[in-house]
Amino acid sequence: MRSITLLYVFLCIFFVQFHHTLQSTSPILFNFGDSNSDTGGYVPALGIYIGLPYGNTFFLKGTSRWCDGRLIIDFLCESLKLKFLSPFLESLAPDFRGGANFAISASKTVIELYAPFSLDVQVKQFFRFQLRSLQLISEGHKDMINESGFSRALYMIDIGQNDLLGALYLSNLTAPPVIKKIPSILAEIKLAVQNLYKFGGKKFWIHNTGPLGCVPRELARHPHNNTDLDRIGCYKVHNVVSMAFNKGLKALCEELRSTFIDATIVYVDIYTIKYDLFANYKRYGFTKPHKACCGFGGEPNNYNVKATCGQPGYTMCDNVTQYIVWDGLHYSEAANRVVASRILSTTFSTPPITLDSFWIP
């Protein structure tokens, strides 16, 4: 009888330690950004439902993602065997054990009337989340992220696209005035990293912005001559601005590494990955790279602001897997899959650290 009791005690200790090991090495992600990585925060934030045809490829229902299926961040979560991130603002049955998503569509690094969930606001929401989690743990609640969890979590940032596009419109599509604003945009990203570090963050994963001049919406909305386009048909001024921002963001990441020597800060070159999709679209099985799958207007871009995807009069392509862009601005699940796989290769990361290595004991 005594041996059975000792065996039972031993097994209990083993499983407790095993569970603790899993808890201490399992991935935790916190994401900040805009529609590129918003997994459903837009609806509770602004009360606007994003239904079918959005979501019809993978989820078979509207999920408030600006895509026909999964986003890049969804594929990254799958690679870690992690559930898709619940939006921070989701009040009905969220699951925050693996982290939370603070990204809200249309967000910028700075607050504007139609974009109230700036990067600074998202970081403040994170602080609220962190404080509340620790309070609940102190009260005996389980399945909450503890102080150690916040320390070993990965903090992902993907923002800046809307700042650049908004500035381009105001500058009448001229680059110099926009480039002058880039330091102030970068300053907000720097402040976000500094504040997250102050509250325990040590691991950061920062995406640069994609080639904004290649997407159908921008090509359709602005009349242009062939001299305004580069060799693959993308708007030069948009991409000049994108590259200027990315150069500054890379330099900022280098600066932050030298400042926070005990932190890991990975800069991910999304621009090069996405530009290659447009430049070598046939290699990836895509057709008509500058045409939206879901929209209105037909050739060459299938985009019209008066009848965007899901609105009366829109049309949809027969095979979305052959399209890089879903609705004129946001990428298709097929494109997101390719981008995610290339991110995971580490070829486009500085330093070249694998995503899962952040949780290898």
Instruction: Pick the closest to residue 161 from 107, 117, 113 (CA basis).
Output: 107
Per the residue annotation, which of 37, 105, 330, 332 is the catalytic one?
330
Q: Read out DSSP for 270-297? A: HHHHHHHHHHTGGGGT---TTS-SEESS
Per the residue annotation, which of 35, 37, 332, 349 is the catalytic one?
35
Active site residue 35: yes
Active site residue 330: yes
Residues near 78 by beta carbon (within 8 Å), at least 6 away in sequence: 70
Cβ-contact 178, 167 below 8 angstroms: yes
User: Which pair of structure tokens corresponds to residue 255?
Assistant: 């600066």
Distances (CA, A) of 22 to 29, 134, 157, 353, 359: 15, 20, 26, 22, 10
Q: Read out DSSP for 128-172? A: HHHHHHHHHHHTT--SS--HHHHHH-EEEEE--HHHHHHHHHHTT
Per the residue annotation, which of 34, 64, 327, 332 is the catalytic one?
327
Residue 74 CB-half CA count within 13 A:
24
Active site residue 290: no
Task: Report the C-alpha gap between 242 and 177 in whole angstroms.
Answer: 13
Active site residues: 35, 327, 330
